[in-house]
Chains A and B, each alone.
Chain A
Amino acid sequence: MSLLDVRSVSKHFRGLRAVHEVSFDVAEGGIQGLIGPNGAGKTTTFNMIAGVYAPDTGEILFAGRAIHRLRPDEICAAGIGRTFQIVKPFAGLSVLDNVMVGAFLRERHAANARAAAAKILERLGLGAKRDLPASSLTLPDRKRLEVARALATRPKLLLLDEVMAGLRPTECDQMVAVFRELNRADGTTILLIEHVMRAVMALARQIAVLHHGALIARGTPEQVVRDPAVLECYLGEETEV
């Protein structure tokens, strides 16, 4: 059964056709990759799922419920957690407080929220930095913080927007391990936009490819990298497969 069902959604910004008639679904418990060259419409698709933009046409179902008219906070409450491609830490708050803000969605009391947040920070390897101001973190740690905050809302579906970008290969592998564990142990479904092919290939069981706002291929990683349409749109680009 699919947890997320995106049905022929389109989004135009003035004259620009950002996303056109895109359909795909994410199986419950699955890990789905969403790839494509710059400007393919990946983040726009993400933002429609997360409620930042309402699609012009089409619909989005989450666990059978239409969510494409909901606000971002309602979508988060429904069980979809997201990260931002350009990280958005609450700079003036400590690392722990950042994650507590997310944890308060499911825990009304500060003590419980603090305990939940601390546990998540340990899991992401940020435990030692919990009392530092978020503004002092390095970029890789800020990406981890994005993930930690989203996880604190206890999502059924986690939307990851380029969380591996800028990470060194070993850091990237650590993140991959964290998401695998999350998917295996907690059953969290994951939809990830990623440029780092190393991570997509290691994680995703299904991949959808966007190009110029349209879906050009879907399938397993092996199928997708052999697809002529995909090869054509990536031609001339460096892909580390």
Chain B
Amino acid sequence: MSRASVSLAILAAILVALPFLLGNYALSVATLILYFAYTGQAWNVMMGFAGQLSLGHAVYVGVGAYAAGSLFFHYGIGPWAGVLLAMALCVALGLIIGFLAFRFRISGVYFALLTIAFAEFTRIGFDHLDWTGGPGGMFLRVAQRDTWDLANFRGPPLMYYYAMLALAAGAFALCAWLLRSRAGYYWQAIREDEEAAQALGINTFRWKLLAVAISAAMTAVAGVFFAFYYNNLFPEQIFHISRSIEIILGPVIGGVGTLFGPVLGATVLTLLSDGITEALAAVGWEIPGIKQVFYGVVLLAVVMFLPNGIWPALARRLRL
């Protein structure tokens, strides 16, 4: 086995054993890290692989969460059916955005603006949709949480941790496979030079749409998890642009277009942000916005000193 696969096996073993070493609070932080590793991986398919910058990925989290949440709230239908609906809706939405952009040659920052616009007016739409509770939000019934009720995805924090671990590992494997397949090569060619890619027989319109569809479907699953983990959904929060930014920070810090970037970035950012919250609480400082300032400083430092993200530099050091 290569150094890389041995390291991967060790990491997997640690992640599986982790809950037995952690308390409840630490477990919730670990779950959050995996959540951002997963959503970062999903976003990376579009931006990192195919070069299409989305600044509105919160729209897929939100639509996915509301789709599965509504089924459960109104009809008592569990998330297994809900996740299918969520994925279908998000793929459809992604294809609409992608079709409009790629058909009318909207690219680069203008494409990014279009993704923000869709997230924003979806938020406003949900604010006026009484069926999902409007701006007042939607609350899923919280049952007793000692036993694992997999059918309704209700259970102790441990269940959510393992579910998120399975999702993050699955996304990692999927992305690793995609990168080595024809799709991965075509996406990277499109990212590097779209005109040259087209001259090599690549229908760039279709392959870009495929990247959007896969990314949207993956993110929709994160939305379903979000709904059943937090049990309350507000358009103001779930569709907010800061949520979209949160999703992209992990891969940007870790390394856009790499497999480990999103994982590493999510870990570093979540631990640092939690660490500083704790540290500030310990010394009794309560300065509003200090966490955001901290985020900004880390982001600046990484962009200045490691413009390709932490992972490429680290991988060289570790000779992976």
A interface residues (Cβ-Cβ under 8 A, vs B): 50, 52, 71-74, 76-77, 82, 84, 88-93, 97, 100-102, 104-105, 108, 110, 113, 149-150, 152-153
Contact = CB atoms under 8 A, between A and B. Distances in A.
Contact of B192 (A91, A105, A153): A91
Contacts of B196: 84, 88-90, 149
A108 B197 CA distance: 16
Which A-B residue pairs are the 4 nearest by beta carbons? A76-B201, A90-B192, A88-B196, A105-B201
Given A90-B193, A110-B181, A102 B188 contact: no
A100 B200 contact: no
21 contacts: A52-B195, A73-B198, A73-B200, A73-B202, A84-B196, A88-B195, A88-B196, A89-B196, A92-B192, A93-B192, A97-B185, A101-B185, A101-B186, A101-B189, A104-B186, A105-B200, A105-B202, A108-B182, A110-B180, A113-B182, A153-B200
Nearest to A93: B188
Contacts of A102: 200-201
A84 B186 contact: no
Interface of B: 180-182, 185-186, 188-189, 191-193, 195-204, 257
A100 B184 CA distance: 11
A91 to B, nearest CB: 6
Contact of B204 (A73, A82, A84, A90): A73
A101 B200 contact: yes
Contacts, number: 77
A104 B185 contact: yes
A110 B182 contact: yes
A88 to B, nearest CB: 4
A170 to B, nearest CB: 28
A97 B193 CA distance: 14
Contacts of B185: 97, 100-101, 104, 110, 113
Contact of B197 (A52, A101, A150): A101
A110 B180 CA distance: 7
Contacts of B180: 110
B248 to A, nearest CB: 19
B193 to A, nearest CB: 5
Given A73-B201, A74-B203, A150-B200, 7 more contacts: A50-B199, A88-B195, A90-B193, A90-B197, A104-B182, A113-B185, A150-B199
Contacts of A152: 200
Contacts of A104: 182, 185-186
A105 B189 CA distance: 13
A73 B194 CA distance: 11
Given A97-B185, A101-B186, A104-B185, A73 B192 contact: no
Q: Which of B181, B200, B203 has the most CB of A within 10 A?
A: B200
Nearest to B200: A102
B182 A82 contact: no
Nearest to B193: A88
